[in-house]
Amino acid sequence: MTLELFKDAGRVGPEVQVLGEGAVVLRGLALEDEAALLKDLRDVVLAAGFRRMVTPGGHQMSVAMTNCGALGWVTDRTGYRYQGIDPDSGRAWPVMPESFLRLADRAARVAGYEGFVPDACLINQYEVGAKMSLHQDKNERDFGQPIVSVSLGIGAVFLFGGMERSDVQQRVALQHGDVVVWGGESRLRFHGVLALKEAEHVRLGRRRINLTFRKAE
C-alpha cells in the first residue's frame, strides 16, 4: 500500500508489520529524530509532570500520564474526557513540540493517512509492573482520524484484539522507537499492554514511555 511513497522517493522504507486493516507497526521509525524527541519530551514533562489519575470507578491507574497539545486526555471520578487545562496546574498543557508533530505526520503518511494533524498527545509512563487493561479509544470526535502511538524506553507486549472485548488478541512486542498507527477498520479495536517486565533502557532507565497522538476535536 503505502510503500509506494518510498519507491517514488527512491529510498528504502521502514520495516512495516501489518496488524490488521488500517493498523501497522513501523519498526524503529522514531529513531531518526530520537535526540530531538527525547529532549522535547523532557521539557514537556518538566512543565506538566506525570501523575497517576483515577478512573470513574475509583481505581488509581498504574500508568502515570501527562499531555501536550491544545487538548489533553484526563480521567477522574466524573469520567474520561479531553480538556485544554491541566487539572494539576490550572494552566494550559505544554505546546506540542515540532519534533512530535513531524514524527506524527511522517508515521501517519507512511501508514497511508494524509493530513493527520493531532491536537492532543497523551504521554504514558509505565514503570515495572504497570499495565493498561483492554480498552477502546473512543473519546475522540472523528473515528476517521487514526492514532499514532510511539514506544520509547524498555519493551512491552501490546495486546491487539478485535471489536469485542472477548475477541482473541494478537501479542505484539514493541521496542524503543517502534510506532503503531491505528485507524480505518481497526480504529475501535480493543487493545492493551501487559504488565511491564523488569528491564533497563540506556536513555530512559527502568520505564517505558508511550506517546499517543490523537485528533480529539
Shortest approach of Fe ion to residue 26 CB, angstroms? Answer: 17
- Candidate list 191, 196, 215, 216; residue touching ligand MD6; CB under 6 A: 191
Among residues 160, 197, 127, 120, the alpha carbon closest in space to that of 22 is found at 160
Shortest approach of ligand MD6 to residue 89 CB, angstroms? Answer: 23
158 belongs to the binding site for ligand MD6 (CB under 6 A): yes
Shortest approach of Fe ion to residue 13 CB, angstroms? Answer: 26
The residues near 46 (Cβ < 8 Å, ≥ 6 apart) are none
Q: Total residues at the site for Fe ion (CB under 5 A)? A: 1
Instruction: Give the 3-state secondary structure of residue 177.
Output: coil
Question: Which cell numbers hold the place of 47?
Answer: 512543565
- Candidate list 86, 105, 137, 140; residue touching Fe ion; CB under 5 A: 137
In Å, how far from its chain's centre is CA 9?
27
Among residues 89, 98, 50, 72, the alpha carbon closest in space to that of 208 is found at 50
Site stretch for Fe ion (CB under 5 A), options 23-31, 42-50, 134-142, 181-189: 134-142
Closer of 93 and 158 to ligand MD6 (Cβ): 158
124 belongs to the binding site for ligand MD6 (CB under 6 A): yes
**Burial tier of 176 (Cβ tally within 10 Å: 0-12, 13-18, 19+):** buried
Binding residues vs ligand MD6 (CB under 6 A): 124, 132, 137, 147, 149, 158, 180, 182, 191, 193, 210, 212
